[in-house]
Amino acid sequence: MRRLVSCMVFCLLYSACAGGTEEALSEQLGALRKEIDALRKERSEQADLRRKVEELQKRQATIGGGPLDLAGKAGAAAEKYGPNAPVTTKTGKLRVNGLVQVWYYTIQNDNLGFFGDLTPGTPGGGDSNETKDNDSFRIRRAELKFTLDLNDYVRGVIMFDPAREAQSFPNFSTNLGTQLRGRTAEISSAVTNVQSGAGGASRMLKDAYVQFHDFVPHHEFTIGQFKPPLGDEGIRSASDLDFAERALITQLVDFRDLGIATRGYWWDDRFQYWLAVFNAPGNFHGSDGGYNDRSDTNDAKDLLARVLLRPLWKDPTWGSIELSWSSQFGIHGEAGNPRDDNDDGDVSDAGESVDGLNRRETWAIRHYAAMSYLPSGPVKGWWMHGEWAWIKDRNAPAAVRGIPQTDAAGIQTSPNPFSVSGWYVSTGYRISDSVWKEKVPGWFRPFEFAYRCETFQNVAVSDLTRPKTRTDVFASTIQTAGVTYYIQGNNAKIQANYMWADEPDAGDGGRGFREVKNDSFVVNFQVAW
């Protein structure tokens, strides 16, 4: 108010000095009075507001909550809920991660399948590839992961993947699958699955476990549903894969199981080991379904051991080397029928039956060995990976067919245990990690070029002389050439892969196999957080 009066006096003096008229002075005084009235009204409203705040504070104090700081509450709310505020939980610290992979793929069209001894369209026959070679878009993965650190020692993890509800999509890197045990007839369930969008059991729940860490030095303990730590690529996060899809041998361990595991780590994680116990329902050949979200099919439990060593790690001259070996073994099956259906001429046990699950007990085992090398120095940006697997178990009864496929006598009803093996080697060069990254155009820097060669005994058929019990296996070879464009590392990238598939042909044991035209091309659009 004092400043306004001073301004009035100054204006009067200025006008008098300037020779202003009485009329001009009157107009100026009128304008100043209006400003004074507005300020008085504003001060009155502020006084009313202060009285209301004081009344609220008195009421709050009467209730017992202490003085009410409205301005402070408003500021705290803006900080907690406003733009760019962190997400918090009532208890612990919650992290949310996700992965979205959208595919487009195209496969060479071939209206005949692998077993060329059948007549397409004939009831009871017709090995068709038409259910597996349709070009399509696909949501390959839609993972959502919640990790809650309750305190410094306890963690809980849940991960879902609704994309696992999808059915009837073909397999990659060969659309014939990781295990080919018999025909895909045009009138079979495979056709129905594609026509109706149906398929096998969808198990959307992936990870669900509790982890205890750091309260025992250099150890962590995990119990629940999670991946058995076998090999390298199979247990790697799907967002970090070098190619759009894993190799055939590592797809066999890209499953969760129920169990408990401990991990020990020393020397800045350069030496690690795992010891674990799992349910391991079904069998390692995959003919009795998956492992996760199902009860065990035997009373025994599988044991697993893995050792990892990094003799070189981030050395500026030599780079990084990682070596690992892992094994899983146990007794599968329970209360099974021991008969061999006269396959060896012994008819004394023919026709016997048993109660229970009718799966013969089997000593099952699988080994995985892996090696990775990331050189440094002048070849920095180059990487190499390799992995080998050996798997032995027994198939489910009637899971394997013989030759010819239409002959019921060739259906394997009492399978003996058998082994399969495979390997892959892959290599690539990432421009953004190379010594040339500052010397190439900016548009070229995010590229990576990769190649993989793999072979696996994924074809299983009944033996020609003892079809009821013995299994013969044959290998497929797939070569993959890939280009990856990193938009923001593995958080946003585009991968393009072309796959040349070479299955066993007619010269393999006189089985009448047919080389299927099924080379494929996949583009993966990925965002992860």
Question: Hey, what are 94's tokens?
Answer: 């919650």
Q: For residue 264, give Cα distances in angstroms to 126, 222, 275, 276.
A: 53, 12, 9, 12
Looking at 286-300, 382-396, 476-490, 506-520, which range is the least confident one?
Answer: 506-520
Task: State residue 437's pLDDT score.
Answer: 93
pLDDT surpassing 70 at residue 46: yes
Q: How far apart are CA 28 and CA 73, in angstroms?
A: 44
Q: For 250-259, 357-366, 429-438, 492-501, which range has the lowest pLDDT when averaged over its residues?
A: 357-366
Query: 371: phi > 0 → left, psi -120 to 50 → alpha, else beta; which?
Result: beta
Domains and CATH numbers, the chain: 93-338+353-528 (2.40.160.10)
Tokens of 67: 């003085």
Amino acid at 81: Y
pLDDT of residue 336: 75
Per-residue DSSP letter, 292: T
The pLDDT value recorded for residue 339 is: 63
CA 316 to chain centre: 31
Residue 35 burial (CB count, 10 A): 12
At 459 the three-state DSSP class reads strand
The SS3 assignment for 5 reads: helix
pLDDT at 498: 98
| Of 449, 458, 469, 482, the residue nearest 178 (C-alpha) | 458
CA distance 361 to 375: 46
| Burial class of residue 102 in the structure, from the number of CB atoms within 10 Å of its CB (0-12 exposed, 13-18 middle, 19+ buried) | middle
For residue 347, the model assigns a pLDDT of 41
What is the per-residue pLDDT for 64? Answer: 54
Q: Do residues 105 and 128 make contact, with C-beta atoms less than 8 angstroms apart?
A: no
Which of 138, 142, 143 has its CA nearest to residue 103? 138
User: Nearest Cα to 98, choosing from 522, 496, 490, 497?
Assistant: 490
Average pLDDT value for the chain: 85
- By C-alpha distance, which of 242, 250, 251 is closest to 483? 242
Q: What is the pTM of this model?
A: 0.80
Angstrom distance (rounded) from CA 115 to CA 96 = 47
Q: Measuring CA to CA, how many Å separate 352 from each of 23, 339, 341, 349, 480?
A: 125, 7, 10, 6, 49
pLDDT greater than 70 at residue 367:
yes
User: Does the pLDDT at position 412 exceed 70?
Assistant: yes
The lowest-confidence range among 90-94, 114-118, 480-484, 494-498 is 114-118
DSSP letter assigned to residue 249 = H
User: Measuring CA to CA, which residue among 425, 331, 445 is closest to residue 371?
Assistant: 425
Give the other-Cβ count within 10 Å of 423's Cβ. Answer: 17
The percentage of the chain sitting over the pLDDT mark of 70, rounded to a whole number, equals: 78
**What are the pLDDT digits (tens) for 332-353?**
988 777 665 555 545 455 455 6
CA distance 311 to 326: 18
Helix (H, G, I), strand (E, B) or coil at 81: helix
SS3 of 374, please? strand
Using a pLDDT cut of 90, give the percent of the chain over it: 54
